[in-house]
Structure 1
């Protein structure tokens, strides 16, 4: 018996994979992970294996040609799954799951976990129907944000799954904004820009009161380096990729967490792909007690308001610096920390329920032995 975990990216872009690996190891269930090396220069696909990790080296083209790359990926992965005869699958994200649907529906009904991380092509009626069919034939469908319930149909298979990790350092407390020092404003994760974040980078680019720090891999589609150079920005610092173990150090040097992300200037125009997900930085805020700066009109902003987690802005606001500085001057430390504790308790309860159900599924898979 071997479980196949299907990833549409590399390991660095799939941090939530580790949770499934740990639980499979605890259940003593064998597994293999199929990664896609998109940056390979090879136009002809080939597989290479390192331990229980399998890499598909196959160049992913950009623009309209990307659809052909996706089709090629699905063809090669389907053949590999058939050849390996996996007993069960864990499908990470909607697009790869839909691409593999013929194989999944033919051989794995009721034998897979369908993990939904993002809103992708669900605005298309047929795609959303295919997603819901995958949901209904899964063992379980974890979703990384309850904001997704705005576009998913109701199903007993759906369960919240939170990307929260507990810090070994319990000495963190909320920042002290009483000192007259520049605010350390940090983005932690894969670095990419949308309309609001690009506008914000430029607006705050010469601020003496706010220093913008970006920790993480700059994605190939992100032009932040060009913007810094072209505009001569003086307060934007790119620190490059980091190890998850470095998060505690990063957040010790952080006052506010940058969670601004919205591909529209007006709140009512923000697409569901931007308004409904929850970033890992939310959980970082709850663990490390660092307030959020997030985009108005998003599900994250709703949580921020409900639990007093930070300030909601529009990246296009001309008075952005003033909004952020005023928040720090009127910062209610107790309300913020109480809100973090309250939401963290709810998240922990839901995460424990998720882990219990996954453990039961893995136990059943192992007992079935097929």
Structure 2
């Protein structure tokens, strides 16, 4: 009998935070399964439920979750796991009654994004899910504003070893040959049209989009239509290329709109900005903007009309030594929070039933 099951309602490649758990469990010598939903016909490790979604119609999505949750219940009963780790609120809500009945106090719930729990219809089930868990984990303190009042433990979406390396000396960016602003990772709409128009054809600044996402082609087409020559798109990149790409830039663009999902989240770019000492460009009023202001690790703005001059003024006033120390201070806080999470997870794993 395997002690644990990690349950995630997506392909594993799109859920890197699952590796935070699997690495810890491997290190502790804990036997576990990963139960995942294969939405793409992509073979991955563990126990897979394959259902390639062809429609995002709400009813179709609802029925897909009904079928996946039924698969999960069958698999859990068959393998008789002693404890579970459940990821994301959609899946958690569909499993809430099952978890309360059979795993009360013997599951961890991990929350990474605002979702259907914000709708009145699902609030009761979501509260049941939180109330009956051993531990409720969130990846950003910004989520607390939108969640019921429970105890939450932070687990930042960052490799702690990578974060610890970020405490070592890092060379500041050299922008004497020009300022390079980078948007890396999943390319979404966010406030990127505003950023593009503000930086378009500014001779002293280059804007790069490296990665793919639902708005990549839209943004690239917009740049072509506008005729901006200093903005480029580079598509997918290998994970091992990420560090060199970031080190080659001057600042990192994290211009988010003021909507709940973006106000509350901490992005991968946020962490990479701190680790590689490339100041972030963030929106005032978001959790990332709050951290940037408190620790003085980036440029925070209400709007992006005069972004080019704001960037130049910020860099001219930047004290690299102070900035370096501020990044280390915030990284140390993040590491401490993840270490606390690790201890709580270990307590859960070794706890007797």
**TM interval, short-chain normalised:** 0.7 to 0.9
Instruction: Output the CA distance in 1 between the equivalents of 2:220 and 2:37.
Output: 26
- C-alpha displacement at 1:213, in angstroms? 2.2
- C-alpha displacement at 1:193, in angstroms? 1.6
Equivalent residue, structure 2, for 1:124:
119
Q: Does 2:185 align with 1:189? A: yes
5+ unaligned residues in a row in structure 1: which ranges?
41-47, 263-269
Scaled by the length of structure 2, the TM-score of the pair is: 0.87
Instruction: Output the CA distance in 1 between the equivalents of 2:115 and 2:183.
Output: 23
Q: Structure 1 pair 356/57, CA: closer, same or farther in 2 (3 Å)?
A: same
1:161 to 155, 158, 162: 155
Does the 8 Å contact 2:49/2:71 carry over to 1? no
Q: Structure 1 pair 152/331, CA: closer, same or farther in 2 (3 Å)?
A: same
Q: Does 2:300 align with 1:312? A: yes
Does the 8 Å contact 2:12/2:44 carry over to 1? no
- C-alpha displacement at 1:340, in angstroms? 0.8
5+ unaligned residues in a row in structure 2: which ranges?
none
Equivalent residue, structure 1, for 2:240:
245
Higher mean alpha-carbon deviation, 9-18 vs 139-148, is at 9-18
Cα RMSD, aligned residues only:
2.6
Instruction: Output the CA distance in 2 between the equivalents of 1:90 and 1:220.
Output: 33
1:295 to 283, 286, 290: 283
Instruction: Output the CA distance in 1 between the equivalents of 2:66 and 2:259.
Output: 26
Instruction: Output the CA distance in 1 between the equivalents of 2:198 and 2:76.
Output: 49
Does the 8 Å contact 1:34/1:56 carry over to 2? no
Map 1:106-121; keep pairs closer than 5 Å.
106-121=101-116
Q: Does 2:128 align with 1:133? A: yes
Deviation per CA, 1:86-124: give whole Å up to 9, x if none: 332211121221122233223222121111111223432
Equivalent residue, structure 1, for 2:315:
328
- C-alpha displacement at 1:53, in angstroms? 4.8
Higher mean alpha-carbon deviation, 287-296 vs 325-334, is at 325-334
Deviation per CA, 1:144-185: give whole Å up to 9, x if none: 1111121223323x11112233445845233244x1x33221
Instruction: Output the CA distance in 2 between the equivalents of 1:327 and 1:291.
Output: 10
Instruction: Output the CA distance in 2 between the equivalents of 1:124 and 1:50.
Output: 32
Q: Does 2:172 align with 1:174? A: yes
Equivalent residue, structure 1, for 2:269:
281
Instruction: Output the CA distance in 1 between the equivalents of 2:202 and 2:78.
Output: 57
Equivalent residue, structure 2, for 1:344:
331
Number of positions where the alignment pairs a residue of Structure 1 with one of Structure 2: 347
Equivalent residue, structure 1, for 2:36:
35
Instruction: Output the CA distance in 2 between the equivalents of 1:343 and 1:273.
Output: 23
Equivalent residue, structure 2, for 1:266:
none
Does the 8 Å contact 1:27/1:362 carry over to 2? no
Structure 1 or 2: larger helix share?
A: 2
